[in-house]
Amino acid sequence: MIFLVLAIIGSGVIPVIFRAFDGWRVNVFWAIPANYVTCVVVGNLLTGQALSPADLAVQSWIFFAALQGIILAVNFYLLAYTAQQVGVAIASLASRLSVAIPSILAFVLYGDSLSVVKLVGLFAALLALYLCTAPDQHVGTPNPRLFHLLPITLFLTFGCYFSILKYLQTYYLTESSYHSYVMSGFVFAFLCSIVIGVAKGVFASADFRLRHPSAGIFLGLINYVAIYALLKVLALEGWESSRLFPIYSVGVVAVSSLLALLFFKERLSRMKTIGLVVGLAAVALLNRS
């Protein structure tokens, strides 16, 4: 249970950190690569072993680590771009509703049990996520195509990320390989973020400020804990992913909402309050199923 709490808190804090980056005037194209370097360093310190390219190359999961690392980096930038072009509320909605993808796949790939209580709980969780993240008023955009394409892309990429994570945990990873896999994914995410930054031409020395990598280091500490803890939760006996992912996502939305209220004085609307109540009910149902 402690790993589930860490995964929820860590993932819930990340969007709050990104929100704070605006006030700190942090350039995310510097901060995100620093974040992934921090994740690798933390992993090395925890395992006491440095990554060996020769050893990693022969791992059966190395292709998945590369794929997931690329998706991880793209997700960070895509989330920021969607929030800028379409709106923060819709970006949050799309990323959190992606829980439906691994939850549904769990019935097909892993033989998760299907019951009326679980179906009601899953529906309630998705409804809660919508209520908690739906915009309080219509958000317009000068580009209708982007309005629809970006959230759909975000939904699919986040769904792919969590689906791959569960697939690897089920068929490839062992207790001894968790750290190596997570660190490998962060290495590939770092390389991808560097490529994106170079392509955007944002690594000019004139734009560098110490606060950019410093903020990335802070983000990296939270990011590593969140992903590693989630991977540990997925490996727990008796926790089906069709039940875990809705609980995890509702918890993340609840943490983000409460922290936004505490630090940024973002008041919860009636719809969001109802959503949190529905989410708590969903968690209760999923724990009973």
Shortest CA distance to 242 belongs to which of 146, 54, 115? 115
Find the distance separating the first CA and the last CA of the chain, reported in whole Å: 17
Q: What is the largest CA-CA distance in the chain?
A: 59
Residue 165, token pair as written in the block: 């994570």
Angle at which helices 270-288 and 116-133 cross, to 10°: 160
CA gap 184, 174 in Å, rounded? 15
Query: Could you give the number of structural domains in the chain?
Result: 1
What is the rounded distance in angstroms from the CA atom of residue 74 to the CA atom of residue 52? 25
H or E segment to which residue 220 belongs = helix 211-234
Q: Distance between CA 267 and CA 264 in Å, rounded?
A: 9
Rounded (5°) CA angle 258-101-286: 60
Residue-level pLDDT at 278: 85
pLDDT, averaged per 10 consecutive residues of the chain (289 residues), comes to 92 86 86 93 80 83 94 87 66 73 83 82 81 60 64 87 88 82 91 90 77 94 91 80 81 83 78 80 71
> How many Cβ atoms from other residues are within 10 Å of residue 217's Cβ?
16
Range of the domain at 273: 2-288
Separation between Cα atoms, residue 206 and residue 105, nearest integer Å: 47
CA atoms of 172 and 167, how far apart (whole Å) = 8
Q: Are 38 and 221 in contact (CB under 8 A)?
A: yes
3-state helix, strand, coil split of the chain in percent (to 5) is 80, 0, 20
Position 74 scores a pLDDT of 92
Q: Look at residue 52 in the predicted model and tell me its pLDDT.
A: 78
Q: CA–CA separation, 46 vs 187, rounded Å? A: 16
Q: What is the DSSP letter of 269?
A: P
CB-CB contact of 286 with 103 (8 Å): no
What pLDDT score does 216 carry? 95
What is the value of pTM for the model shown?
Answer: 0.81
pLDDT at 136 (0 to 100): 58
